[in-house]
């Protein structure tokens, strides 16, 4: 079994992005997510892409979706398209994005792979609701379907892992529960079929609640006899 780990990076500048990418690659990240909403300027995305030997994911979350980008929706989408044109292999598109299908079509035209994502910051919905979201993401043309919930109790991990086991037979999916109680799902989702899981580079640069560092994730997999 090959488990893939994506390191999520929140750089403020292009130079910092390049430095953090180098550190993530030294930790053997399989993919690297660049949180473009953390950048102060978005005029040198090609330089970021050129500094990486690892597939990059462009994510640009608005403030209403718990991100840091406060500009207009058209600007947010323009930045994602710029990332796609300048060497980012994957682009994260939220399922609630206005004119989502048009954006996905444009991304595919320039050779980027869309990750269609859904986040529930309040709970972990029922299995039937998670399945409905997955079907919507598949229908939208997702290369990877990302469904992230919030664990309110330990049992939510069981629900998520059950969903991963079933959903991974339909599509490439990335699914786990956020929060301290959701850590088991972050760690174990790839074991149950998730395409990859997320980790932070270190304790200082976590991009979501309950996120483990790549060092913690690798040590846990090693202890479990997984690679």
What are the residue numbers of the active site? Answer: 119, 146
State both tokens at 45. Answer: 């995305």
Distance of CA 188 to the CA centre of its chain: 16
Distance of CA 10 to the CA centre of its chain: 12
CA angle 197, 20, 218 (to 5 degrees): 35
> Which of 45, 133, 52, 59 is CA-nearest to residue 90?
59
> Which of 207, 162, 206 is CA-nearest to residue 184?
162
CA distances from 207 to 103, 191, 193, 227 (A): 25, 23, 23, 24
Residues near 139 by beta carbon (within 8 Å), at least 6 away in sequence: none
C-alpha 79/C-alpha 33 separation (Å) is: 15
Task: Give CA torsion, residues 96, 97, 103, 104, to 10 deg.
Answer: -30
């Amino acid at each position: 079994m090959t488990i893939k780990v994506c390191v999520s990076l929140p750089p403020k500048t292009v130079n910092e992005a390049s430095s953090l990418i180098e550190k993530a690659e030294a930790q053997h990240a399989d993919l690297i997510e660049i949180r473009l909403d953390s950048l102060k300027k978005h005029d040198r995305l090609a330089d970021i892409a050129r500094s990486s030997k690892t597939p990059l994911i462009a994510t640009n979350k608005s403030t209403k979706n718990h991100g840091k980008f406060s500009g207009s929706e058209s600007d947010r989408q323009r930045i994602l398209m710029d990332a796609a044109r300048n060497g980012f292999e994957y682009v994260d598109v939220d399922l609630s994005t206005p004119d989502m299908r048009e954006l996905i079509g444009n991304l595919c035209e320039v050779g980027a792979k869309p990750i269609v994502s859904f986040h529930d910051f309040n709970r972990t919905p029922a299995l039937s609701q998670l399945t409905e979201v997955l079907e919507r993401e598949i229908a939208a043309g997702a290369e990877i379907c990302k469904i992230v919930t919030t664990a309110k109790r330990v049992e939510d991990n069981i629900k998520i892992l059950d969903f991963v086991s079933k959903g991974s037979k339909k599509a490439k999916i990335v699914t786990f529960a956020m929060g301290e109680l959701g850590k088991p799902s972050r760690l174990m989702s790839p074991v149950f079929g998730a395409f990859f899981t997320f980790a932070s580079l270190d304790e200082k640069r976590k991009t979501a609640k309950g996120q483990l560092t790549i060092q913690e994730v690798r040590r846990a997999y090693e202890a479990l006899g997984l690679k």
